[in-house]
């Protein structure tokens, strides 16, 4: 069988200058005085605005859940935050990817991995290819709550585990996939089979069976897969400490809802032998506490009181105030790196009031993005016009977004047939024999003052176009649940991204409407075909052109109003002598923070 190496350059070298320029911390104290810290323990207290949805890396969809899960489980490949590049984690090295020219997988590829010999589970057994196979099959099990994850893994057709050394294995793929390296190793945290499937129910089905749609339908009623999924989806495997187990440096001690999540460092963790080899093995604190404070004003008070060590996503107004506070600056480093993220308004395209693209475009013209960035965000954000980060080489710079133009909004609504027939100040229209008023509900997650303010801005300007908007908040888990169920008209959301090439399927393919993250109902046969072609195109130049075309289609259909790409406003206590911030999410590495700077009174204990 002949094989040719596939060149998969998916990490951007241009990020490094930005990283250096935007992540420099302020200087240390130079007056010779020791800094007094209230907390001298070798622990890190990190602020979280809300509880994560779950602590199961296969079923969880929340970003803050991922950050916590990163401490408990490891992937084969991870993102080196400092370099904004892929690095091996459980794997000895990045995999070898080769094109297959003959045999069953001709036209596809194979991906070869080897797991580190040191890697162990909590019961002392080796992490092997069988655990990898179990993890991927679990995500592909149609009865497991992992619809959001499946689009990223479905290119993996089968797995072959070395009989002599089960730490070596090969993924076989029927088709080429541009993101084969990160897709195969960086999308899923690896789970211990012995812990999550003691009956080995998932071994009764091969990974290859999940590549056959007809077989997948049959597996939906398979009693063994149903039995496994019922247990795996259950509450205990999402949050109870005795049912949470991974290969990372930390284990879950306790989760008290709406208060805190506490992780403790493992004694004699296998990764200690690899300290300094990769950042993932640098686990300094004995405890990580994620303090859940839903109100941002309260969280700033806690920060000033030194009850928090790390805080990200600080409100722009609070951040500018902190910069002026000499006492705070003695205690904390303040950072403002660019964030791989964007904030947007999602509009339900299947709602009668929003089905006409002219209505959606009118709403775009009613949102004053410049005012939001200047007044709400104090200039600490940049406008964005599409679903990919502006620093990426395939960002479509020809897209201009929506200018604030109430007259244009009124014109579009007139053209769409929305008029104020009863002179009540709100436009209405007969749709399929029923009168609809242009009354819309705007939802945001409670505690997020920025999203609340965006809604209030829109509410006021929309009145000038005859649209009534009600601004309502939802507790985070309720907010997530309602968006997944398409129970909204307009919501304010945000997506965080990685410094690698984007796979748009999970957000924009119609197959991702139920179970994925295409909450708004975007897409048709043309956009689906383009997304599938992007996945199969290895040559970057060709793929970039397709990215450009997809962005134009999204702009034309306007399922989102793209608002801004923010700065990640971060504070980190100076009681750690190696505090840094990064452009890759979440913007810091809590497990690497080392206690005890020269001249302070915070000493490891």
Query: Of the candidates 170, 197, 232, which is a domain's last residue?
Result: 232
Mean pLDDT of 420-434: 96
Q: What is the mean pLDDT of the chain?
A: 92
Mean pLDDT of 477-481: 93
Q: Say which range, 33-42, 121-130, 251-260, 510-519, has the weakest mean pLDDT.
A: 33-42
Q: Which domain holds residue 8?
A: 3-18+73-232
Q: How far is 465 from 487, CA to CA, in rounded Å? A: 25
pLDDT digit string, tens, across residues 363-398? 999 999 999 999 999 999 999 999 998 888 999 999
In the DSSP assignment, the letter for residue 373 is I
- Written as one string, the DSSP assignment of 177-223 is -TTHHHHHHTSS----HHHH-TT-GGGGS-GGGGG-HHHHHHHTT-H
Mean pLDDT of 414-436: 96
Give the pLDDT of residue 18: 40
Mean pLDDT of 441-461: 96
Q: Per the domain annotation, does 584 fall within a domain? A: no
CATH number of the domain encompassing residue 498: 3.10.105.10
Q: Per the domain annotation, does 304 fall within a domain? A: no
Q: Per the domain annotation, does 58 fall within a domain? A: no
| Percent of the chain's residues with pLDDT above 90 | 86
Q: Per the domain annotation, does 446 fall within a domain? A: yes
Give the pLDDT of residue 21: 38
β partners of residue 265: 250
Q: Say which range, 16-20, 114-118, 167-171, 463-467, has the weakest mean pLDDT.
A: 16-20
Helix (H, G, I), strand (E, B) or coil at 291: strand
Query: Of the candidates 232, 248, 282, which is a domain's last residue?
Result: 232
Number of domains in the chain: 2
Res. 515: pLDDT tops 90: no
Res. 8: pLDDT tops 60: no
Query: Of the candidates 232, 251, 270, which is a domain's last residue?
Result: 232
Q: What burial class does residue 344 get, using C-beta atoms within 10 Å of its C-beta: 0-12 exposed, 13-18 middle, 19+ buried? A: buried
Res. 2: pLDDT tops 90: no
Res. 541: pLDDT tops 70: yes
Residues 410 and 548 occupy one common structural domain: yes
Give the pLDDT of residue 454: 97
Res. 9: pLDDT tops 60: no
CATH number of the domain encompassing residue 191: 3.90.76.10
pLDDT digit string, tens, across residues 236-255? 999 999 999 999 999 999 99
Give the pLDDT of residue 83: 86
C-beta separation of 289 from 260 below 8 A:
yes
Residues 412 and 541 occupy one common structural domain: yes
Q: How far is 137 from 207, CA to CA, in rounded Å? A: 6
Q: Per the domain annotation, does 151 fall within a domain? A: yes
Res. 491: pLDDT tops 80: yes
Mean pLDDT of 87-93: 97
Rg (CA), the chain: 25
Name the strand (E) or helix (H) holding 268: none
| Percent of the chain's residues with pLDDT above 70 | 93
Residue closest to 303 by CA, chosen among 38, 490, 109: 38
Q: Per the domain annotation, does 596 fall within a domain? A: no
Q: Say which range, 52-61, 295-304, 588-597, has the weakest mean pLDDT.
A: 588-597
């Amino acid at each position: 069988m002949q094989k040719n190496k596939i060149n998969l350059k998916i990490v951007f070298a241009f990020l490094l200058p930005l990283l250096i320029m935007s992540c420099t911390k302020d200087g240390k104290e130079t007056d010779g005085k020791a800094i007094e810290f209230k907390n001298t323990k070798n622990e890190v207290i990190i602020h979280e605005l809300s509880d994560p949805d779950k602590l199961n890396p296969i079923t969880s969809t929340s970003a803050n859940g991922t950050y916590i899960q990163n401490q408990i489980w490891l992937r084969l490949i991870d993102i080196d935050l400092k370099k904004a590049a892929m690095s091996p984690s459980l794997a000895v090295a990045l995999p070898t990817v080769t094109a297959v020219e003959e045999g069953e997988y001709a036209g596809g590829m194979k991906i070869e991995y080897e797991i580190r010999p040191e890697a162990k589970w909590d019961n002392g057994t080796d992490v092997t290819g069988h655990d990898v196979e179990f993890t991927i099959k679990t995500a592909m099990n149609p009865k497991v709550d992992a619809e959001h994850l499946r689009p990223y893994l479905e290119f993996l057709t089968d797995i072959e585990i070395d009989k002599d050394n089960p730490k070596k294995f090969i993924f076989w793929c029927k088709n080429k996939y541009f993101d084969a390296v990160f897709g195969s190793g960086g999308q899923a945290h690896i789970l211990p089979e012995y812990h999550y499937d003691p009956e080995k129910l998932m071994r009764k089905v091969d990974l290859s069976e999940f590549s056959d749609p007809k077989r997948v339908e049959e597996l939906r009623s398979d009693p063994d897969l149903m039995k496994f999924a019922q247990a795996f989806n259950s509450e205990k495997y999402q949050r109870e400490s005795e049912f949470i187990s991974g290969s990372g440096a930390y284990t879950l001690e306790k989760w008290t809802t709406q208060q805190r999540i506490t992780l403790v460092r493992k004694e004699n963790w296998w990764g200690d032998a690899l300290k300094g080899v990769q950042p993932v093995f640098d686990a300094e604190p004995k405890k990580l506490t994620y303090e859940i404070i839903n109100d941002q004003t309260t969280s700033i008070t806690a920060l000033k009181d030194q009850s928090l060590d790390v805080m990200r996503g600080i409100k722009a107004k609070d951040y500018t105030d902190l910069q002026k506070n000499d006492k705070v600056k003695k205690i904390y480093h303040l950072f403002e790196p660019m964030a791989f993220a964007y904030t947007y308004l999602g509009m339900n395209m299947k709602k009668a009031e929003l089905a006409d693209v002219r209505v959606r475009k009118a709403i775009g013209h009613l949102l004053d993005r410049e005012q939001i960035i200047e007044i709400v965000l104090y200039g600490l954000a940049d406008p964005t016009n599409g679903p990919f980060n502006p620093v990426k080489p395939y960002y479509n710079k020809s897209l201009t977004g929506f200018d604030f133009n109430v007259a244009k909004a009124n014109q579009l609504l007139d053209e769409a047939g929305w008029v104020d027939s009863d002179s009540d100040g709100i436009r209405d229209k007969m749709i399929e024999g029923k009168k609809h008023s242009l009354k819309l509900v705007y939802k945001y997650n409670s505690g997020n003052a920025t999203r609340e303010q965006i809604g209030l801005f829109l509410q006021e300007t929309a009145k000038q176009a005859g649209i009534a908007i009600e601004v309502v908040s939802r507790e985070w888990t309720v907010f997530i649940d309602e968006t997944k169920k398409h129970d909204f008209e307009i919501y304010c959301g945000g997506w965080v991204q990685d410094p690698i090439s984007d796979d748009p399927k999970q957000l924009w393919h119609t197959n991702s409407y139920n179970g994925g993250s295409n909450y708004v109902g975007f897409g048709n046969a043309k956009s689906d075909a383009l997304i599938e072609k992007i996945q199969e195109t290895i040559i970057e130049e060709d793929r970039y052109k397709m990215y450009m075309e997809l962005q134009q289609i999204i702009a034309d259909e306007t399922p989102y109003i793209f608002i801004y790409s923010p700065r990640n406003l971060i504070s980190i206590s100076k009681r750690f002598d190696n505090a840094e911030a990064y452009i890759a999410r979440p913007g810091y590495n809590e497990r690497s923070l080392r206690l005890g700077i020269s001249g302070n009174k915070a000493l490891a204990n």
